[in-house]
Structure 1
Amino acid sequence: MEEGFNKKRAVLTLSQEPEVGAMAAAPVGTVHWSKWSSLPGDLVRRIADSFLASNDLDHYMCLRAVCTCWRSATDEPKDNASDPRFQPRRWIVLDEVFQTEGKLLLLNTDTGRFLHKKLPLLREYYVVATTPSGFFVLADRSPPHAARVFNPLTGDLTRFVAPMPPEVGVAEVICDKGALYLHFLGDSTCKIYMALPGNQGFVSTDCGKKVYNIFRDAILGGAYPQRISGPALVAAFVGLDAQLFLHIEIQGRTPFVFKMNNGIGKIEPVESIGRFAIFIGHHGCLAVDADKFPGMEANCIYYTQDLGSSAHICKYNIKDKKVERLSEVAEFMKQDKKFVLVTARPSTIIQLLCSYTIKCRDSELVWQQTL
């Protein structure tokens, strides 16, 4: 978070400092731009690339807005919508409870950076879903409700011809060979939907439960909870990196964490997940670097314990094999079949991430059609 702040401060400094040679003659408070606008293009690109490396696309857009010279030295995201550099990665949209004055709270789970961003465009469409990487999937308000993909960090809107499918569960935007594919998964029917921007409709594929779960796993990067088979059982597969995938079961108050030992071809207990912390809820799970988040403990699993009309946040320390409830008072209460965070503001990062995993965003289009 500090690194991102320093880079943003550097851009502001470069864009606002007066020229040294003109400083004595200029009135107090005058800002001169000519010096910084004449920076070598390769230097401007190096600064811009540092923002792209950390996926701080909003900082990149601010840099391009400084002057024409900086804009011409860098690539235009709207001309390269399918370029992976300009796509959000690991940005999650925190619950609508945290909206204020039309702003949404976004979080980069790789760097720990929060972004409170105003997105007036969302008022012009139905918000159908958000993807695990940070895209908004929208639908036209007018029939046949054509699909749209909105990048909240660059402001780019990709228009699809195809109307929104009748059911939407998990959504993801995938770039392959310079093209953007929009995928939907329908949990109730085990169907997979796919379309390119120019397609007249979504292509749907009926899958058996086993095949469907494989696709669901692939789209969500190996981090999702399986369906709850009882009031106290949650199974999740979490990918920490390319080599390590965990299987986690939470039954009652005792989590079990396993990994596949490829050397011997067997599943074995996990003794440590290093600096990571894992969050598991009814509708999602998430692995983050605990060092990026103050107050979070590494090598732990945070999960929500469903008590029917309420839910508590629990923490399981993998090393000590101890479970503790973080508060005697329930952090979530069930309202209209959904759990709502009821603890006093300001909320902790642990509460925010647990809220993200325990709740599922409702499609505004589906809600409107049921009225």
Structure 2
Amino acid sequence: MAIARSRRRSLDDPELPSSKRPRVLGDHPRHQLSSSRRDWSNLGEGPAGLVADRLLANDVADYIRFRAVCSPWRQSSTDPRAHGILDRRFHPRKWIMLRETHDHHRRLLNVSTGQCILMPHLKKLLRGHDVFGPTTEGLLVLLHRSSYVVRLLNPLTGHTANLPPATTLLRFMEQKFSPTADHRTRFQVSDAGLADDSTFAVNFYGIQMLTVAKPGDECWTLVEVQGSSVLPASSISFEGRFYCPTNQGVMVVETSADQPPRLVLAAELAKEFPHMLSTVHLVDNGREMIMVYRTVSGSGTNSWTYDAYRVDLKAMNTRSVLELGGRAIFIGYRSTVSVSTSVFPSLKSDSIYLGLDDDMLYEDRLHCLTDGTTELSGIFEHGGFDEEYGSAIPSKFGPWGIDDFLSWYVTELEDE
């Protein structure tokens, strides 16, 4: 009690008369007015540039918001469009473009935070193109429907760049395909991403050609496979290099000035994967590469089994895992994405979710690695999917949950 009675009164204690309180900086109305009118735009290039650099290291979306505040902040930070589209600093790595059941807007989802933003300008940029991908870096791969020019689009910055027309590959195809075949079918893209800091790799699965090019090149260059056969799979760009699974192992596209682009071994397979009735999927699982092996094991809806392997690029091997670090992986026939279940708690940890590709429609939608259990999940759990619509989710049925959105996101391709 003595301690309580001897307590010194605070400067803002209402029982202390204002005339008795010692005056401090900020008490005077003139000081308060000056503080409220502080010119935050006049930080100076040093402090503003430091803030911009830290925002860019975390998320390019925050960096773009910072530059949009005022002209002085824009002048203290570099314009993303002043750099090449392959500059990884400005890639929206955490963002994916959701598919919609209506076409009047586009939304981007941040898979690290769950934030969703409306991007009304995207509809105009996508018009007249088939949209493939997406890439691990967050770039979109577009194919122009009349010129067959392959374009890269950064959906956050709006930055675009042209790669060579896919028709420059026709000289490699005449003996393999009918000249009357539909070009849009021929030039469908399954996987794409950075091969190095200045080179982009594209796998045209319709013509079974793995190619590379740089923005501004006139034609594509074929990657030498050297006896390897790229498996039915989804390949990925990981830490600025392009990896794909083959019958020989996980391979990386090697580029150098004195040799043509080629596949070289990056990691040996833990076991041999047969071509027939199986697919292999690479995914960036929170900065580690995971390979999901999907194979048929019987008949019926539960006839497929799923195994996961961690790809160790330093040890150049793969090893089986039953846990995904509290994450869930969505796989489609040509695309993959990994998300944290702490961000999306309705998802089940250490599980594989399926896309809505035609050959995955009749399987259980969720496969838990730790105990081997399966579930229907999403729209199938509620009986809302109508087979009449094929692999697209009908607008009258959904999608309803994040599992539906992500399953639809990894489904094969989209025409705009």
Q: Pick the aligned partner of 1:249 from 294, 299, 306.
A: 294
Deviation of 1:239 (Å): 4.7
Structure 2 CA distance, aligned partners of 1:214 and 1:228?
Answer: 8
What is aligned with 1:116? 118
User: Is contact 2:385–2:397 with CA below 8 Å preserved after alignment?
Assistant: no
Q: TM-score, normalised by structure 2?
A: 0.64
Match of 1:289 among 312, 322, 340: 340
Shift of 1:169: 1.4
- The Cα of 1:194 is off from its aligned counterpart by 2.5
Report the secondary structure of 1:194's partner residue.
Answer: strand
For 2:392 and 2:79, the matched residues in 1 are separated by 41
- RMSD of equivalent CA atoms: 4.1
Tell me the amino acid that sits aligned with residue 248 of structure 1. Answer: Y
Deviations 1:210-265 (A, max 9, x none): 343499635477699999955xx654344536666344335452634243698999
Asked if the contact 2:150–2:165 (Cα under 8 Å) also holds between the matched residues in 1, the reply is yes
Report the Cα offset of residue 105 of structure 1. 1.9
After alignment, is 256-265 or 197-206 more displaced? 256-265
Deviations 1:116-164 (A, max 9, x none): 21125425542442432322333556x644433221111212244x323
The equivalent position to 1:85 in structure 2, one of 86, 89, 92, is: 89
State the one-letter code of the partner of 2:112: D
Aligned partners of 2:288 and 2:393: how far apart in 1?
Answer: 35
1:348 Cα deviation after fit: 0.8
Contact 1:190 / 1:207 at 8 angstroms: preserved in 2? Answer: no
**Maintained 8 Å contact 1:312/1:330:** no
The DSSP-based 3-state class of the residue aligned with 1:272 is coil
1:38 Cα deviation (Å)?
A: 0.9
- Mean Cα deviation higher: 244-253 or 268-277: 244-253
Structure 2: state its 5+ residue gaps. 1-30, 168-182, 247-272
Matched position secondary structure for 2:230: helix
Q: How far is 1:108 from its partner?
A: 2.6
- Is 2:408 the partner of 1:355? yes
- Inter-CA distance 316–163: structure 2 relative to 1 (3 Å threshold): closer
2:151 alignment partner, one of 148, 152, 176: 148
Q: Distance in 2 between matches of 1:201 and 1:91?
A: 30
CA contact (8 A) 1:170 1:185 kept: yes
Cα distance per residue 1:157-186 (max 9 Å; x no partner): 2244x3234513135342744x3x343212
Match of 1:21 in 2: 33
Give 1:274 deviation, angstroms: 2.4
Q: Deviations over 1:323-348 (max 9, x none)?
A: 22235444543456534356744621
State the SS of the aligned residue for 1:111: coil
Contact kept, 8 Å, 1:340 with 1:355, in 2: the verdict is yes
Structure showing the higher helix proportion among its residues: 1
Which one has a bigger Cα radius of gyration?
Answer: 2
* Aligned-pair identity (%): 22
- Equivalence for 2:40: 36
1:62 deviation in Å?
Answer: 2.6
**Amino acid in structure 2 at the alignment position of 1:255:** T
Whether contact under 8 Å (1:89, 1:134) holds in the other structure is yes
1:62 counterpart = 2:65: yes
1:97 matched to 2:101 = yes
Q: TM-score, normalised by structure 1?
A: 0.71
Is residue 84–residue 175 contact of structure 1 (8 Å, CA) maintained in 2? no
